Amino acid sequence: MLHVSSLSCRRGSRLVFREVGFCLAPGALLQITGANGSGKSTLLRVLAGLLSRTDGAITWNDQPVGNDAEAHRARVHYIGHLDALKPELTGVEMLAYWQSLRAASAACAADLFGIDAFKNKPVRFLSAGQKRRLALSRLLQDDAPLWLLDEPTTALDENGQARLAAAIAHHRAKGGIVIAAVHHMIDAPDTQVLAMDNFRTSPPLAGGTEGGLVNTSTPVSKPHPSPPASGVGASVAPPGHYLTRNFLHNLKLHARQKGEWASLLLFFAIVILLLPFALGPEPDLLRRLAPGLIWLAALLMSLLSLDKLFVQDARDGTLDVLLLSPVPLPLIVLSKLLAQSATMLIALGLMLLPAALLLGMDLTVLPVLGLTFLLGIPSMVLLGGIAGSITVALHRNPALLTLLLVPFYIPILIFAGAACDAAALGASSLPPLALLGAMLAVLLPTAPIVMAAALRQGQG
Amino acid sequence: MNILTRFANPGQFLKLAAILMPICAGGAVVSFAYGLYYALFNSPPDYQQGETVRIMYIHVPAASIGMMLYVAMAVAAGVGLVARHTLADIFCVAAAPVGATLVALCLITGSIWGKPTWGAWWVWDARLTSVLILFLLYCGYMVLRHAFDDHERGAKASAVLLLVGAVNIPIVRFSVEWWHTLHQPASLLRAGGAAIAPTMLKPLLIMGMAYGFYVAFLIMLRMKTLLLARRIEAAAQQDD
């Protein structure tokens, strides 16, 4: 039972909607209509918990949903405008990934959306409608009772629309609740309608209850053989399980994005190649500066790669899926950043020897340089993740990210340089390496928590 | 707690500021006049540095207050995150440009002093470098804070940055000192262990007081302006 009363939402200085209220029993379907910009999507995002409400109350079985945000995320499936698909992965891989983000798995073998024909193809070969069907398949992953659908029929053909209607009917028959923002009403019995255009204007619609809820039919009185449990049947997996699966997924994604990583490596190589032209070709000078120059090139490369951390996810809708996953967000973020670090390390590892040879570096320093990368690059990625999570909501100013990060990168650069210098002089490079390790040890547990908090609040 | 909540009430703050602002303004005028006269005309030149030592009276208070302000902002940010008082954010927004200006003033005057004394406008000294990084932290905070249209979100995001930055300051300080001792032979003029002469200490303390009064006045003025601006914004929203 979902109960919403006098809900208001303000975005910046704009009042998007106010005094929205409705009550949905198990098996109910609520269709939200309204012109573009009338606040349908905002309402759905507030109900999902992606945006905070300004006023009002949302309760599920008489419990305010804010009391246990994790339980609410487990009971919600939200399908937004964006399909949250990665063009490089296949449908099967996307489904497996989404499955790993849900706490419970109720393997629904039935191909309700007709994706079997194309689910082994990479997403970039799919049509808009096929992508939509794939995204809708998320609904079947587990028995989350509350479906929030934002214009779910977009790009769907008639067959797809019929399949969606059937899936909704099936979900309702099981006692689930569906709320959909629509422009063309989904054909279904016992449907309730909320007209967003009308709740703000003074003359209420005929038959409209307070808050603009218009009942076009009697409230649902279906038999509910199995009312949905408030929390999804918990088959709790150990945290390490999510961590590994997410990590492997991200690694696979990076492996498919070979082109992007190759261009980053090319950038690294070009910086290394250009440095002798700027500094002069004296071998002694280059040998002495080589570790620092390689680190500088790596730092510039990592700044360029930060864009991949959260901005891409925010753009394709993946971020919403991550935020609404019942899996703890710090774990998801940590696995993502570890994968990013691993890819960076592999890429840099490939270039390390050629770069060292080009600059005529003392090869006895190479192992220490490698160690500083191993300890320093993950710290840099974690710090970049913090800055990225703070600025992801802004997505307009990449220079800002650099400005925020520079003061935090300086100690890493200093300790890495000190370790290499010590090695070149034949002294012990253990102290600076230990300090690099200490920074990483502090960042590993704390940075994901900061990032998760920043990502959540960045949504409003 | 009572004191905190009472201070954090914007109305109470405005009342308090109405009393304190004239006092600070008066204190600043008097102590600047006295301190500047003392520092520029009535104190001896240094036996080594000559007249350039007078830059110190502008430079040192700017440096110390500039650093203290960042710490105060970080504390306010922490309180703001925990207690959700808007006044904490308003304090940070008000103090940031003041602190950044002080740090910039410190860097500029230090540079002017460095040219005749060290023979260079800038040396990569540990202290100079960490002050430069502090300046970058101030800039980062201001740019981030103003990138948000929504006050509440901007306040939270930039408070996180302030706190992470405050944790970073000792690390920067330590690493830069290490870096400096590693790379730079001790070629610089060292201040030496000799204590500062009382004839110089007195104007320095008066100048410190003057800076303190002036900065307090400036921040309260800015906070008051920001509070009123937000009230106007809120009123405009009500009319929508």
Q: Is residue A321 part of a domain?
A: yes
Same domain flag for A206 and A255: no
For residue A365, the 8-state DSSP code is G
> What whole-number distance in Å separates Cα of residue A307 and Cα of residue B92?
29
pLDDT over threshold 50, residue A211? no
The torsion of the CA quartet B100, A399, A458, A241, rounded to 10 degrees, works out to: -120
Q: Do A450 and A315 have their domain in common?
A: yes
A324 and A361 share one domain? yes
Task: Judge whether B18 is closer than 8 Å to chain A, CB to CB.
Answer: no
User: Running DSSP on this structure, what letter comes out for residue A327?
Assistant: S
Same domain, A201 and A302: no
- Chain A residues lying within 8 Å of B233, measured CB to CB: 13
Q: Residue A236's pLDDT is what?
A: 53
Whether A144 shows a pLDDT value over 70: the answer reads yes
Q: Round to whole Å and give the CA distance between B66 and B50.
A: 26
Q: Give A210's DSSP letter.
A: T
Q: Say if residue A265 is in the same domain as residue A379.
A: yes
Which CATH number belongs to the domain containing residue A54 in this structure?
A: 3.40.50.300
B237 in reach of chain A (CB within 8 A):
yes
User: Does the pLDDT at position A235 exceed 70?
Assistant: no
Q: Which of A117, A125, A107 is CA-nearest to residue A160? A: A117
The mean per-residue pLDDT over the stretch B1-26 comes to 78
∠ CA A356-A357-A359, nearest 5°, is 70
Q: Is residue A280 part of a domain?
A: yes
- Looking at CA atoms only, how far is residue B137 from chain A in angstroms? 7
From chain A, the residues in CB contact with B166 under 8 A are: none
- Of A197, A214, A231, the last residue of a domain is A214
Domain holding A425, by residue range, is: 239-458
Taken in order A287, A290, A292, A293, the sign of the CA dihedral is positive
User: What is the phi-psi region of residue A326: left when phi exceeds 0, alpha when psi lies from -120 to 50, beta otherwise?
Assistant: alpha
DSSP code per residue over A6-64: EEEEEETTEEEEEEEEEEE-TT-EEEEE--TTSSHHHHHHHHHTSS--SEEEEEETTEE
| Residue A410 to residue B233, Cβ atoms within 8 A | no
Measured distance CA(B66)–CA(A150) in Å, rounded: 50
Assess contact for A49 and A77: CB atoms under 8 A. Answer: no
Asked whether A342 and A251 are in contact (CB, 8 A), the reply is: yes
- Report if residue A226 sits inside a domain: no
The mean pLDDT value for B234-239 works out to: 73
Indicate the range of A76-85, A201-210, B99-108, B157-166 predicted with least confidence.
A201-210
Does the distance separating the beta carbons of A400 and B176 come in below 8 Å?
no
* A220 belongs to a structural domain: no
Question: What's the mean pLDDT in A282-293?
Answer: 91
Instruction: Give the residue numbers in A contacting B (CB under 8 Å), as ranges.
Output: 10-15, 386, 390-391, 393-394, 396-397, 400, 403-404, 406-408, 410-411, 414-415, 417-418, 421, 432, 435, 439, 450, 453-454, 457-458, 460
B112-128 pLDDT per residue, tens: 888 888 888 888 877 88
B172-229: pLDDT as tens digits: 878 887 777 766 544 444 444 445 677 778 888 999 999 999 999 999 999 999 999 8
Q: DSSP secondary-structure letter at A152?
A: T
Q: What residues does each domain of chain B span?
A: 23-43+51-185+196-230
Q: Taking a contact as any Cβ pair under 8 Å apart, which residues of chain B between 121 and 140 contact chain A? A: 133, 136-137, 139-140
| Domain shared by A291 and A253, yes or no | yes
Cβ–Cβ pairs < 8 A, chains A and B: 87
- pLDDT computed for residue A104 by the predictor: 62
Q: Do A400 and B147 touch (CB under 8 A)?
A: yes
Sign for the CA dihedral angle at A140, A141, A142, A147 comes to: negative
Each residue of A150-171: pLDDT tens digit? Answer: 988 888 888 888 889 989 998 9
Structure-block tokens of residue B198? 């009382």
Cα–Cα distance measured from residue A316 to residue A307, given in angstroms and rounded to the nearest whole number? 13
pLDDT class for A230, splitting at 50, 70, 90? very low
At how many degrees (to 10) do helices B151-183 and A366-391 cross?
160
- In single-letter form, the type of residue at position A133 comes to R
Which residues, numbered 167 to 226 in chain B, qualify as contacts with chain A under a Cβ-Cβ cut-off of 8 Å?
168, 171-172, 174-176, 178-179, 182
Q: For chain A, what is the mean pLDDT? A: 83
Whether A275 and A365 map to the same domain: the answer is: yes
Tell me the chain A residues in contact with residue B144 when contact means C-beta distances shorter than 8 Å.
390-391, 400, 404
Give Cα A70 distance to the centre of its chain. 16
Asked if ipTM goes beyond 0.95, one says no
Give yes or no for B164 touching A (CB within 8 A). Answer: yes
Specify if A227 maps to a domain: no
To the nearest whole Å, the CA of A359 is away from the closest chain B CA by: 21
φ, ψ of residue A179 to 5 degrees: the values are: -120, 125
Domain presence at residue A221: no
- CA–CA gap between residue A126 and residue A382 (Å, rounded): 34
Residue that finishes a domain, picked among A214, A230, A256: A214
Of A158, A180, A214, the last residue of a domain is A214
- DSSP states along A268-306: HHHHHHHHHHHH---HHHHHHHHHHHHHHHHHHHHHHHG
Provide mean pLDDT across the span A185-195: 84
Four-point Cα dihedral B140, B142, B145, B151, nearest 10: 170
Which of A50, A392, A401, A403 has the highest number of chain B CBs within 10 A, making it the mutation to test binding with B?
A403
Question: Tokens standing for A146?
Answer: 């509350």
Q: Do A281 and A189 reside in the same domain of the chain?
A: no
Are A304 and A376 in the same domain?
A: yes
Mean pLDDT of chain B: 84
Tell me, yes or no, whether A144 lies in a domain. Answer: yes
Length reported for chain A = 460
List the one residue out of B55, B63, B207 whose CA is nearest residue B135.
B63
Closest Cβ opposite residue A457 in set B156, B161, B178: B156
Helix-helix angle B86-118:B10-41, to 10 degrees: 10
Helix (H) or strand (E) holding A77: strand A76-79
**Cβ contacts of B179 on chain A, cutoff 8 Å:** 414, 417-418
Q: Which residue has the tokens 């034949």?
A: A426
Residue type, A312: Q
Residues linked to residue A60 through DSSP beta bridges, in sequence order: A2, A63
Pairing of strands A55-60, A2-11: antiparallel
pLDDT at B148: 81
Indicate the residue of A11, A403, A418 with minimum beta-carbon distance to B179.
A418
Q: Ranked by mean pLDDT, which of A46-50, A441-445, B114-118 comes out on top? A: A441-445
Q: Are residues A149 and A248 in the same domain?
A: no
What distance in Å separates the CA atoms of residue A409 and residue A402, rounded to the nearest whole number? 10
All residues of chain A having their beta carbon less than 8 Å from the beta carbon of residue B165 are 407
* Structural domains in chain A (count): 2
Q: Taking CB atoms and an 8 Å cutoff, what residues of chain B touch A13?
A: 233, 236-237, 240
pLDDT at A221 (0 to 100): 37
Beta pairing, strands A213-214 & A191-195: antiparallel
Residue A91 lies in a domain: yes
Residue of chain A whose alpha carbon sits nearest to that of B143: A400
Sort out which chain B residues have CB atoms less than 8 A from A397's CB and list them: 143, 147
Least confident stretch, A174-188, A311-325, A384-398:
A384-398
